[in-house]
Structure 1
């Protein structure tokens, strides 16, 4: 049975052995000015002789003018128990600072079909990631009960045991786990309407299977992963699942309710790995509590800052 995420958060609190109240992260930005925009985003936009404002207006106007897209956004949000504005925020952030939005949804469908016959694979130096994570260093990850926790664990093991190191005579690159294994076309590439990367989609595959009935993704079949994240009928559900996972992670691991701050969920959509980030915030706040300090609230980055700054406009576009 479908339950709104707000109800699920309430049930989560009630089910714990020691009742606690989640700290509500208020709407709006914690930073008075927009945090610095990374050089890569500036260069991408400059190379096309565009501007962030023009790209923002393009995706905002696409949402406002396309009733089919708005209906899909609202349907996906409902399936995952989140407010549609969270999906809008992620779309706006991606298409303002990553790539320009395409004018027609049909273009995404065509691109999606092309990946089904591709020969692409997720591998490093010819070793598929599915084989790589069978190494003994990853044994601890077998206890994780969700795809999000599983891939977060694998990323942590990569960082601790392989990244930039030489193991058994083999040198490994000083790159993020996703960059090392999940970007076979070129570094930094994301795909589709939601500009998802494959690792992000894999991290919510179990949730999307349960909620939407879509087949579970398999890292051994990269073509189907790319086809799923390129297809707007599926991509929006993956987006919603990623956002819902961020909200759930912060509630469970950090005792924070971030569901009323679309700029913050957009930030997490941008930076990824909400499980590890929520746990890190929780660890920091335990130290602050021991020192008699107030808990630290999560903050938006440049990407989420824009979403909160433009929130009134985006709510109008969604209507």
Structure 2
């Protein structure tokens, strides 16, 4: 009952921004044709002797055949007060441009069991991430209590003070925090049905604990984190939490309601950092409003463009 009440409250909040006024972002794509697909995605698909169309058909086929998966998506979306099309869009985008979908949902469960028994830990250059985030540079993050704010702060410290720098004799790579410390198999790898990375799961663990009741994740327990992002039952909650957060961030920061445009939420799921992107757009729109110009709407990338372009296929699932 508590979870259902929370979902109702979240859904109600989605219609009203902090100022009481939001601008609805229209459906559909702003770009007439698909933006350029990154070379890494093209190479990854070519190396597996596949095509984007074949990969799209494969994930769509899984969703069409598996009624239990669709039911899980529906129930998870209801918990987080979002349209299930947002979850579907994220899954389709990831499995079209990142990895091939498995033929059966059961394969994701089997894979999760294998990953969750591997003695995983998060570290770089023999330094555990727990030791790393206790370095003095991270002191300003200690005041944050929410998992999202805490890990967002830590990610910002990484970008400013460690990325592509030598600190106390240690040379740190010119790469993302999540790729350096949180992906022990190889940099850039994401996992499971939602193709999540561990840092994303850690950021959203408070919301998932509150809404879905799953215990909070810790960076000190790599196996538990991987279990969460590899197990379809749990990973869908983290996908939904990330999407819910993006919708809320654009409403509260930029005064824009993106809940009716799954191509935009899919884009944000793909590129990350929704708060920063909402701030940039809000600042640009304040400047444009002061000059009497029309407001800018958020734009889809190649990934979100596909979701909006194939919206009839995806809507037919439900």
Same fold (TM > 0.5): yes
CA distance in 2, matches of 1:290, 1:242: 32
Which position in structure 2 is the counterpart of 1:51?
51
Please provide the CA RMSD for this pair: 1.5
The ranges of structure 1 where at least 4 consecutive aligned residues each deviate by more than 4 angstroms after the TM superposition are none
Which deviates more, 288-297 or 46-55? 288-297
Which position in structure 2 is the counterpart of 1:38?
38
Which position in structure 2 is the counterpart of 1:125?
125
C-alpha deviation, 1:130, in angstroms: 2.0
Which position in structure 1 is the counterpart of 2:7?
3
Q: Confirm or deny that 1:94 pairs with 2:94.
A: yes
**1:237-264 deviation per Cα after TM superposition (whole angstroms, max 9, x unaligned):** 1111111011111111221111000011
Which position in structure 2 is the counterpart of 1:82?
82
Which deviates more, 110-119 or 195-204? 110-119
Structure 1's 188 and 90: CA in aligned 2 closer, same or farther, altered over 3 A?
same
CA contact (8 A) 2:7 2:78 kept: no
CA distance in 2, matches of 1:41, 1:173: 22
Q: TM-score, normalised by structure 2?
A: 0.94
CA contact (8 A) 2:86 2:262 kept: yes
Q: Confirm or deny that 1:221 pairs with 2:225.
A: no
Equivalent pairs counted in the alignment come to: 313
Which position in structure 1 is the counterpart of 2:247?
247
CA contact (8 A) 1:254 1:281 kept: yes
Which deviates more, 163-172 or 21-30? 163-172
Q: Confirm or deny that 1:64 pairs with 2:80.
A: no
Extract unaligned runs of 5+ from structure 2: none
Q: Mapping of 1:280-299 within 5 angstroms?
A: 280-299=280-299
CA distance in 1, matches of 2:171, 2:286: 37
**1:1-42 deviation per Cα after TM superposition (whole angstroms, max 9, x unaligned):** 2234441224x53xx4xx341121111111111010001110
CA distance in 2, matches of 1:141, 1:23: 33
CA distance in 2, matches of 1:169, 1:290: 48
C-alpha deviation, 1:144, in angstroms: 3.0
CA distance in 1, matches of 2:280, 2:163: 20
CA contact (8 A) 1:115 1:224 kept: no
Secondary structure of residue in 1 paired with 2:57: helix
Q: Confirm or deny that 1:182 pairs with 2:182.
A: yes
C-alpha deviation, 1:108, in angstroms: 1.1
